[in-house]
Amino acid sequence: MPPLAVWLSIAFGIAATIAIITLLAPTAQRRDNEPTAEPESAAPSSAVPLGSTPAAVPSSPACTGLSGALVTATVAPSAGPLMAAIAGFEHAYYVARDPEAALRWLAPEAGIAAEPLAAGITSIPAGTQHCVAITPIAETTATVHLAERRPDGQRIDYLQVINIRVAEAGHAVITNIQRQGNP
């Protein structure tokens, strides 16, 4: 067999093995682009300025395995407009379970209406915990790893890219939430 054919055969074999392992590996149920909720007790936040080492991950079970410039299950107003908008929205959704409070973090162009948002909040089982890891990639864009841990122990992860814009009086609002892929 010519040397190129040998290398191509090896590469094909490796790719096939990876594909089979990926298909056979157990995965948790994931539902992308569906918001979720958390009980009234939330773990403390650990806001970290960009370029510094992240603080300890909050003790919420949903935070296990998450890393980013900010990992939190609470509001993070001192973290800057980008992270504050994302953490604020998730807190309103999961902790406050308040559609009106969550809508205050969303720009009209985000395309998220009040009724579906409220339905999403009420669809989450009581006792569900959440955690969000936010990593800025631009001044108005971040990658987000959102995890929820349901009372039955099921964990659901969402990977997203979120964009914001700064509105009046410096209040940031989310303009787009896009599915990034599976964790």
Domain map of the chain by residue range?
31-181
Q: Is the pLDDT of residue 106 over 90?
A: yes
Q: Is the pLDDT of residue 17 over 50?
A: no
The CATH number of 31-181 is 3.10.450
Structure tokens at 62: 């949903």
pLDDT, position 15: 38
The count of other CB atoms within 10 Å of the CB of residue 1 is 7
Predicted model pTM: 0.67
Q: Are the C-beta atoms of 126 and 39 separated by less than 8 Å?
A: yes
pLDDT, position 73: 86
CA atoms within 13 A on the CB side of 1: 8
Q: Are the C-beta atoms of 146 and 90 separated by less than 8 Å?
A: yes
Mean residue pLDDT of the chain comes to: 75
pLDDT, position 2: 55
Span 25-37, average pLDDT: 36
Confidence of residue 47 (pLDDT cuts 50, 70, 90): very low
